[in-house]
Structure 1
Amino acid sequence: MTGMGKLLMFLGAIIFIAGFLIQFLKLGKLPGDIVIQKGNSTFYFPIVTSIVVSIVLSLIFYFIGRFR
């Protein structure tokens, strides 16, 4: 079961890095993210943030797969 331990450590590292990026780099407030405010309601759709996160995760998983 050492594979499960490594997987959990890897997932924990990914969550830690994502939390760090969101907290300190203001990743959720990029130009291009859609925010609509009307009255007391707000609609927020982080399209650019989603694209950036997708590219970063794709690169991480590409390099992990390449060096296995």
Structure 2
Amino acid sequence: MSRALIVIGLVVVAIGLLWPWLSKLPLGHLPGDIVIRREHFSFYFPVTTMILTSVALSALVWLCNR
């Protein structure tokens, strides 16, 4: 359990340090992401971004367990 918490903490620190470059990636604004804008209403559902994130995390977990 402590090993998992250390790894999660290191990942969070790495993401924090890399955030200026990660925020420039087009994630969240990909084709297939659903955006509905009305006068007093805005709805955003990042379908494609969630699928890509899921595939990347699944591949990472598969590689780590290998």
Q: With structure 1 as the length reference, what TM-score do the two structures score?
A: 0.74
Contact 1:36 1:42 in 2 (8 A): yes
Distance 1:22 1:45, change over 3 A: farther
Is residue 9 of structure 2 the alignment partner of residue 12 of structure 1? yes
Q: Within 5 A, what are the aligned runs for 1:15-54?
A: 15=12, 16-17=14-15, 20=19, 22-54=22-54
Question: Which structure has the highest helix share of the two?
Answer: 1
SS of corresponding position for 2:5: helix
CA shift, 1:40, in A, is 1.8
Q: Which residue of 2 aligns with 1:58?
A: 58
- Long gaps (5+) in structure 2: none
- Long gaps (5+) in structure 1: none
* Cα distance in 2, alignment partners of residues 17 and 55 from structure 1: 18
Aligned residues: 63
Task: Please report the RMSD computed on the Cα atoms of aligned residues, expressed in angstroms.
Answer: 2.3
Identity value in percent: 37
Task: Single out whichever of 18-27 and 52-61 deviates more from structure 2.
Answer: 18-27
